Structure formats: C-alpha cells, structure tokens
Structure 1
Amino acid sequence: MIDSQKQEAAAGSTAYQSKGDLTVNNGATPDQMAEIIGAIAKQLSYFTAEARSIAEDRCQQLRQEILEEMSKPEFSDRSQAFRDPDFQFVLSSALNEFARKGDSDLKKELVSLLLERAKTDSSSRIGLVLNQSIQTTPKLTIEDKSVLVALFVIKSVSITATSVQPIYHRYQTMLSGSVNLLNGGVASFEYLQSIGCININLVADHFPLDDHFHRRYGSLFPKKTIPAPPVPNQNHPLTHDMPASPQEVWEGFLSNVPALRTLSAVWQEAFYRHSAPTAVGKAIAHGILIGQDKIDAPLEVFLS
C-alpha cells in the first residue's frame, strides 16, 4: 500500500513531496537559505561554546565556595544533605541560576541559603520556604533586595541589649548597604508581591517609625525627672520619673543611626509602611544579611 502524498502549494511557494505536506517559501533560494542557516549556526556555535565556558567557570566558583564553607567545623554536620534528592534539586537550581548571572553578591546569597537548607529537613516548612527562596533570589534586582532587607530589618528584627548604644550599631550595620538604593517608586513592591516575597495591605496601620522604635526600645532610654503636682502640707517638693516619649526615642535613633535618617526620607512614600515580608521574603533577606556577616540569629527565629 502506498501512502497518499497530496501536494498543496499556495501562491508564491514551491511544494516538495514527502510523507506529508512540506512547503518552502520562495523568498530565498535553497542555496541562500543554506548560507543564512550556516551563518546563524556558526554564530550560535561560537557563542554557545563561549557561554558554556563562562557557565562552567561560574559553576566552579559556586561549587568552590560551597565546599569551602562546608569544610568549616560548624557546617560539617550538613554534608548528609548532599545525598538528599530534594537538596540536590535546589542545588542544581542554584548552579543553573548562578551560571546565568555570575554576580558575586548572588553567590554569597545562594551559599548562605544552601547552607541553611542543608541543615533543614526536606519536608519541613522551613525547608520548603528555603527551596522557594533559593529559586527566587536570582530573580531579584539589587533594588528589590534592598527593599526586602529594609522591610525585614525594621519589621522583623528585634535586638536584645542592656543599653541602646549596641542597638544603634546593629541597625547601622544591617541597613547601611541597602538604604541608599531605596526610592519612592512602587515597582519593586509590586514585583516583590507578585513573586511572593511581600504582602501589601493598604488599609493596615501606617506603621509610624517613632511608635515602633519606642515600643521596642523605649525602656532603654533614661527617664526624665519632672516636678509632681504640689501636695498640701508637704514640705519637700515632689518629683516623678517620666519615660522617654516616642518622639524622643526616634530622635535618638535618627541622631545615632545615619542609615535610619536615609530610610525615614522615603518611608512615607510608596508602600514601605504597608508592606511586610512573607516567609520567603524573610528567608531571602536573612540570607543576604548572613552572606554579609551582618546578622547571626538563625532563620528559624524569624519563621517560628
């Protein structure tokens, strides 16, 4: 039995017989098409080889960084994760994304997240959050990361200390690399919400910074002694201690933390006051700060 080989050709085209209809436009001769295809293939071959070399070099950089970190005694118990198929999957994702970007900051961030993931069970909530964070981090611009870090530091971090001076220092350390990249635009917020890094609630409390810092750290500020109302038959004037007001606490932070002055200039704009990092956003911001040696609290503190 012979298959039917019906030929149909539209105007301006030539029909070639095969086990089906194959139509080649006459816009270029076969020789011309071969020449065009060969030129494109030559370019693709050249750049593909070059790109492959760059990608392999970047993978080697990330691989070396991971191995160097894993060789440290405090991380030696995390090597078992490399036998886990789920960990291998997110490791592959990290390698692929770094091969595409090759950014040195991204390398630190991915290593921080992978090290955190290596100590976490694959089926745990934190493990799932970290998986998503590793896949999401390469999708962020430096401006997006700066917004995430600022929101995380202000809304998720609470510092414990017996005096306010070390708290000033910690806030300056955590925010100094991010606040200069912040602006009043909404693009980062809309994008971060679209990929699950933040939630925006425009009807929520506007989150005034002076009240926030007063609630967290007001007790560390000295009280003022002021005269009390006079009491009949009392020979000695009475006084009582007045706690520092929200405005006084905030002015103390503004005077001692330059990064907060920069942040406060844009805080009332865009969606800063209305936004809060999700679990994925917290994990990414935490990984950024860990990679910069600016925070040492474990991730589970912020995801519990």
Structure 2
Amino acid sequence: MSDNNILVEQKAAMGSHTTQIATQNNYHGLTPKEACDLAMQMFHDNFPKLQEAAREIAEERVSELMSKIADKMGEKQLTDMTPFGDPDVQYVMYEAQKNYARFGTQDMLSNLSELIVNRVQYNHEKICLKVAIDKAIEIVPMLTAEQLDTLSLLFLFSRTKNTKIHNLDELKRFLDEISVVFKKADLSSFSYLNMLGCLELYLYDPVEKCAESYNFKEKDVKKICPEIIKQTAGDYSTSYIGTILAIVNAELKLNKKFDPSFWIY
C-alpha cells in the first residue's frame, strides 16, 4: 500500500463515538515536532467535544504531552517519523492523549511521553516488544508512582546485574542508593499488579539473587541489604509489560538507560 492511500480503523461501542485512525499523511522527512503536530490534529479530530473551559484544559494538556514527546525524540536523535503513519502507533498515541487530557499529572506526562517515544523508536522490532509497549501505554494511567517503584525494584533485582560491583562495599552503596530512590514502593500491590498483567510467576529472593550474581556469601549480603529490598522476595517478577513499565520508571529516576529488547524478544 502506498503512503498516499488511506487505511482507516473504526472502533465503536453502543453509545460511544467512533475513533478514526488513518494513515493519509506522509510522514517521510518530517521533524519530530511536525509529526507531533499531525498527531495533535488526530486528537482534535477524535476527542469528544467538551464545554469551553474543559476543552481548553484538555487541549493544553495534550499540547504539553506532544511537546514533551517531540523534545524526547530530539534528544534521542530519532529521525524516522514513519511510525507515526502506522495505525497501531496512531491508536496508542490517541489513547495516551486521551488519558493525559483527563488526568494531566506530571508523573503521567513523564511516563506516557517516554513510552510513546519507545513505541516510535522500536516500531521495527519484533511484535512482542511492540505489543508490550502498547499494553504498557494502556496500563500506566492505572498505576501509582509507588506501584511503578515496586515494578522497578522487582526488575532491577530479579532481571539485572550491575557490572560495576566487585566487592561488598560497592554492593552496599548500590543497594542503599536503590532503596532510597524507590523507598515509597507499594509492596502490598502485588495482587493488583498481577491482575493488570504486570507480573509473572518467578520464585525470587533478592538476597540469594545478589549473592549468586556477585559471588558473595548469602549471609554477608543479608547483613547489608535494606529491608525494602528484602521484602520484594516472593513468587513474582516482572512480565513483559511490567518490564517495560519498570524500565521507563527506572530510567527516569536513576538517569540510566536500559535496552528493553534485551529482555523482550
């Protein structure tokens, strides 16, 4: 199908308006801002008409979201804007716009913009990674900052290894840093996170995992491991969806980069 043809997906339920997602625009050669301006137009075309005051707030919020996305794509030096012409990308973009128009929190701004940029960046990756990001975009408005911190803790200690750790002192500094950054993690939310598809069964003890990963004695690791990290022990780790959410949250709070395609393939 050529870029000038129109592919339209309509989703409607009884009593609801119809969402039209179309690829009638040619996204070749666009800047991130130009691509985001077209996505902003999609929001105008599809979002229900509101009273004047509410409409202004919604439009301000979505404009803020699209500006943030454009800025992040510029920072990552993304130049291929053709994913904006993908109906699936347009659909999840619109879902992100709707949710930010409704709630407008700073945490949601950071998380949704990062997830959308990831979806654009990894549009040519395998379907599993793309679907995981799509689902994360749908789910993130349902999560609190504390629940995202829980996912990041689970991911960091069940899925990753810090290659800069060579002795117990370095491990202690790392554990202390992580425990402070994610100190508000909601460790009572496992059932809720599991219900949303963010977790998968995985027998896991962070003390045992650290001892094995860094070749230290378990009793020595136990002495230096903060309580909040010990309390993540249990029957779960992050699913593909949870891993995406955990990575985005960890990147924002630790200023470190993770390649999701390493864990999701």
- In the superposition, the TM-score normalised over structure 1's length comes to 0.63
CA displacement, residues 35-83 of structure 1 (integer Å, 9 cap, x when unaligned): xxxxxxxxxxxx83322221111111111111112223x3323422222
Alignment of 1:132-147 (within 5 A): 132-147=135-150
What per-residue deviation string (whole Å, max 9, x for no partner) do you get for residues 107-145 of structure 1?
Answer: 111121111111223662111111111111111122321
Structure-1 separation of matches of 2:260 and 2:171: 20
Matched with 1:90 is 92
Which residue identity is paired with 1:249? V
Aligned with 1:107 (options 106, 109, 113): 109
Query: Residue 100 of structure 2 contacts residue 109 of structure 2 at CA under 8 Å; is this kept in 1?
Result: yes
Choose from 174, 182, 188 the match for 1:178.
182
Q: Does 1:50 align with 2:50?
A: no
Runs of 4+ in 1 over 4 A off after TM superposition: 165-175
CA distance in 1, matches of 2:179, 2:264: 21
Match of 1:276 among 232, 237, 240: 237
Answer yes or no: is the 8 Å Cα contact 2:107–2:145 preserved in 1: no
What is residue 214 of structure 2 aligned with on the other side?
217
1:181-222 CA distance string (max 9 Å, x none)? 434x3xx212111111113x5xx74x333321110012xxxx
Residue 145 to residue 127, structure 1, CA distance change in 2 (3 Å): same
Alignment match, 1:70: 73
SS in 2 for 1:159: coil
Corresponding residue number in structure 1 for 2:217? 245
Question: Which 5+ residue runs of structure 2 have no aligned equivalent?
Answer: 1-49
Report the AA paired with residue 118 of structure 1: V
**What is residue 298 of structure 1 aligned with on the other side?**
259
Match of 2:197 in 1: 196
The equivalent residue for 1:150 is 153
Secondary structure of the corresponding residue to residue 77 of structure 1: coil
- 1:78–1:115: 8 Å Cα contact kept in structure 2? no
| CA gap 1:128/1:163 in 2 versus in 1, 3 angstroms | same
Matched with 1:124 is 127
Would you say how many aligned residue pairs link Structure 1 and Structure 2? 214
- For 2:73, the aligned partner's letter is M
- 2:208 is aligned with what amino acid? D
Shift of 1:170: 4.6
Deviations 1:279-298 (A, max 9, x none): 00000111112233433121
Query: Aligned equivalents of 2:117 and 2:242: distance in 1?
Result: 17
Q: 1:75 to 1:86 in 2, by over 3 A?
A: farther
1:161 positional shift: 2.3
Q: In structure 1, what is the Cα distance between the partners aligned to 2:91 and 2:103? A: 19
Offset from partner CA, 1:239-270 (integer Å, 9 cap, x none):
xxxxx52111332x43xxxxx33333x34xxx
Alignment deviations for residues 13-33 of structure 1 (CA, whole Å, 9 cap, x no partner): xxxxxxxxxxxxxxxxxxxxx
Distance 1:137 1:83 in 2: 23
Amino acid across the alignment from 2:210:
F
Whether the 8 Å CA contact 1:197–1:277 is kept in 2: the answer is yes
For the Cα contact (< 8 Å) 1:198–1:277, is it kept in 2?
A: yes
Which structure: larger Rg?
1
Q: Residue 207 of structure 2 contacts residue 222 of structure 2 at CA under 8 Å; is this kept in 1?
A: yes
Secondary structure of the equivalent of 1:275?
strand
- The one-letter code sitting in structure 2 at the alignment partner of 1:211 is E
Q: Which segments of 5 or more consecutive residues in structure 1 lack a partner in the other structure?
A: 1-46, 219-243, 255-259
Please give the alpha-carbon distance, in whole angstroms, between the structure 2 residues aligned to 1:273 and 1:58. 39
In 1, the alpha carbon distance for the partners of 2:158 and 2:227 equals: 16
Q: CA RMSD in A?
A: 2.4
Tell me the TM-score normalized by structure 2. 0.72
Partner Cα separation in structure 1 for residue 158 and residue 67 of structure 2: 35
State the SS of the aligned residue for 2:79. Answer: helix
